[in-house]
Chains A and B, each alone.
Chain A
Amino acid sequence: MPTTTIAGQAVEVNDEGFLTRPDQWSDDLGTELARLIGIELTADHWKLVHFLRDDFAHQRETATLRRVSTQTGTPIKSLFDLFPGKPAKKMAYVAGLPKPKGCV
């Protein structure tokens, strides 16, 4: 696995740049991951990122956009506003998780 240095910390990533070890993640690292993809995290972002982390811990799978929307009660449109363009992948990246596998 390649490693890259983010916020002074060496982390393992896959060939797309997603973190491969969820235990290497922290809130500080999340802030920096978001900054690297052009997002400044607000309380609304954090609510979603923390949901993704908790959900992954239980499901061992990254939540799809629909799951994030229904489980957190956040309209899909807001997810696109908070993480523009590719919300599911961007959220997963900031949360230090693999991109979601589900289709919907």
Chain B
Amino acid sequence: MTTHADQTTPFVPRFDAPESQGRKLAIICSKGNLDMAYPGLILANAALGEGVETHLFFTFWGFDMINRKTSGDLKFTMLGNTATHMPQGLGGIPGMTHLATSQMKKAIADLDVPEVPEFLDQIVGSGGHLWACRMSADMQHLTEGDLRDDVEGIISASDFIELTEGAQLLFI
């Protein structure tokens, strides 16, 4: 009987398997460099595409990702980054950060990966939640008016920990 059932029941991917339901991911974005903005965005986007409830918490320099004045203007610098495998002195030459930033932006665009503001649009469109850190806002004298409209609130670290109860967590 079992064999018969196996042969007639189509083999279908288990997209909505019960064991994968209810998964939550919290990503803390603490960096404001162009290269360090992307890991959180890419992982958030991937998680949302897998049906995972995803919350991003922007803190310290990560605020630059959601500050309307800066989010489209993040920069990449060779200075202090030995992974470029270039002499560190080069990074200090005037205009070098601008050049490195342009090159990285082009490399990202060539992969059809959006710039930071558009990537955040996509994440929110996919159901992702954006939260801003209260202490960072106070330190930088920023209010909700300075941030993207889709930031759901400026909340304390405790609030974020509370609302991401049971979530897996990434600190970037």
Contacts and interface: CB of A to CB of B under 8 A. Distances in A.
Nearest to A69: B122
Interface residues of A, number: 31
Interface stretch (A2-10, A20-28, A49-57): A2-10
Given A80-B127, A103-B42, A103-B46, A6 B113 contact: no
Interface string A53-96: 00000000000111101100001110010001111111001000
Interface residues of B, number: 24
Nearest to A36: B12
B117 interface: no
B16 A85 contact: yes
Nearest to A93: B13
Nearest to B21: A85
Given A75-B125, A76-B122, A80-B126, A4 B51 contact: no
Interface in B113-146: 113-114, 119, 122, 125-127
Nearest to A89: B15
A13 interface: yes
Contacts of A93: 13, 15
B110 to A, nearest CB: 12
B10 A89 contact: no
Contacts of B13: 16-18, 37, 89, 93
Interface of B: 7-8, 10-16, 42, 45-46, 49-51, 111-114, 119, 122, 125-127
Interface of A: 2, 4-6, 13, 16-18, 36-38, 64-67, 69-70, 75-77, 80, 84-90, 93, 103-104
